[in-house]
Structure formats: C-alpha cells, structure tokens
Amino acid sequence: MSSVETKYFGAVSAETGVVIEFPAGLPAFERERLFLAIEHPRTEPFVLLQSMCTRELCFLALPVSAVEPAYRLQMSDEDLDALQLDRAANQVSAEDIAALALVVVGPDGRMSANLMSPVVVNRRNRRAIQSVRWDGAYAHNHPVELPVLAAGTEGPLCS
Amino acid sequence: MLVIRRRAGESVLIGDDVEVEILEVSGAQVKIGISAPREVLILRREVRLTAEQNELAAKPVPFSSLVGLFEKMKHSPQGPESPGDKGR
C-alpha cells in the first residue's frame, strides 16, 4: 500500500483520498500532476488537494456550490476534451464532475475562493483541470463567508 | 494606453516580431491571431491571474488556524473518525 507525505497530517495511506490527475498541471504548478483529494468529516466542507510529489503543496478547496449556491459552470471545448467529456452534450451532470474553488487564507484569516478558475474533476476517470473562465462571471478572489453552508449538493469526489 | 481602431482582417505590429491580427468580430467577442517568436509567452490575463492566485493558495496555512477553521466550518458536531471512511 503506497503512502503519501502530507503537509498537515504526516504520512497517510493513498486510500485516505482519491488520486486525481491534472494532465497539464495547474497554472504556476504545471509540473504537479498528481494530487490526493482528501475529504474528511472533520474538514467538511473543505477538500484538501495534497500534491503526491511535493509534501509542502496542499491546496484548500471548497465545492463551488458551498461558496456560491447558484454557481454555474462554463467550460470551453478544450477543457471538456481534457476531461474526456462529451463536448456535444449541452449539459454535464453534476454526478459526473466535481467543481472546487481553491481557497486563499489571508494573513488576517480572511478567506477567498477562486470562482473564476474552478478545479473540475471528472469523477469517472479522475482526470482534473483548472478551468479558467473567460466570461468574467465570477471573481478570482470571491470572499468566503463563515460559516460556509455544508455542500449538500456535492457528493463525494468518487463513488 | 495606446488605443487603435481596427476591423476584421487588419492587424497591428508590436516591435519587429509580433503581429496581432483581428480575425473575426462577432457580438461581444473578438477573435485575434497572434504571430510571435516561440519564446514570447502569450497568456490570457485570467490565466496569469489564476497562476498568481494559485501561488497565494499554496502558501502555508498554520495548522492551528486550519483546525480552527474547520471547527468554525463545522455545521454539526462530529467526533473524530478515521480518515477514508467517506465515499467508499
């Protein structure tokens, strides 16, 4: 059983989470391809995205719906291709994908979530991208209000 | 900022090596074509912004404040449970 060195919890079993792959990495972290997505009752509704190769890299993420209940995802054809989703389909089912916003915690403890560039995971094949919106509909530093409502609409990353 | 009016099919030159051509204008969208040397990095502004935001998101959060955060976030009291018991 392989284990993953984590920033916050020491070494954990890879079974603790779901391994997701960003074939193109993330902007500024292009070489980081594999992350362990950790969901845990104690950190709910946060999802931790722990890099599998860099112990010190662990993103805090929130389901976009926990930050903005009315969030509507908009992806380019290139993004759909990268996730191997059918670009002919007009709608993608929420069961097929998870959309997470990366969270920045400021020095004063205030949080913001990047709703402009959601991390989108295809639950079926566990491929992920950071999808950078072009429509200006959401901010890259959307303030997160406490307490965030539990994300009842989002299931676990993988079933 | 230099402002230039251009129509589809017209272009502007930046320095010796960069050409920006307006390919198509439809509604609120403009399709542009950029010819530039390989070593010139071309990014949508949102991608640069995302990279900067990712750098910030990667900054360490003290574990204590993280725990405090999770405590505040908790919508219902839950005892400690072993990891990996969710979604499987």
Tens-digit pLDDT profile for residues A67-85: 999 999 999 999 999 999 9
| Model pLDDT, residue B88 | 35
Does B58 reside within a domain? yes
| Model pLDDT, residue A13 | 84
Does B2 reside within a domain? no
When divided into structural domains, chain B yields a total of 2
**How many whole angstroms separate alpha carbon A20 and alpha carbon A122?**
9
- Judge: A12–B83 Cβ closer than 8 Å, yes or no: yes
Among residues A46, A66, A14, the alpha carbon closest in space to that of B61 is found at A46
Residue A129, helix vs strand vs coil: strand
B34 and B47 housed in the same domain: no
Among residues B43, B36, B40, the alpha carbon closest in space to that of B13 is found at B36
- Judge: B50–A130 Cβ closer than 8 Å, yes or no: yes
B30 and B50 housed in the same domain: no
Res. B64 pLDDT band, cuts 50 70 90: low
Instruction: Kindly state the DSSP code that residue A36 receives in the 8-state scheme.
Output: E
Does B85 reside within a domain? no
**How many whole angstroms separate alpha carbon A97 and alpha carbon A68?**
17
Does B24 reside within a domain? yes
- For residue A56, list chain B residues with Cβ-Cβ distance below 8 A: 60
> What CATH topology corresponds to A3-143?
BH3618-like (2.30.290)
A:110-129 residues touching chain B, CB 8 A cutoff: 111, 114, 116-117
Interface test with A, best of B56, B72, B88 (most A CBs within 10 A): B56
Domain containing B59: what range?
43-74
Beta carbon pairs, A and B, within 8 Å: 116
Does B86 reside within a domain? no
B32 and B53 housed in the same domain: no
Interchain contact A26–B (C-beta under 8 A): yes
Here the ipTM equals 0.87
* Residues A20-62 pLDDT 10s: 999 999 999 999 999 999 987 777 888 999 999 999 999 999 9
* Residues A98-150 pLDDT 10s: 999 999 998 877 899 999 999 999 999 999 999 999 888 999 999 998 665 44
Please say whether the beta carbons of A118 and A100 come within 8 A. Answer: yes
Measured CA distances, A141 to A44, A111, A129, B8, B75 (Å):
21, 9, 19, 35, 24
Domain spans in chain A, listed from the N-terminal domain onward: 3-143
B47 and B34 housed in the same domain: no
Of A154 and B10, more confident: B10
Measured CA distances, B39 to B32, B35, B36, B49 (Å):
19, 12, 8, 20
pLDDT of B31 > 90? The answer is yes
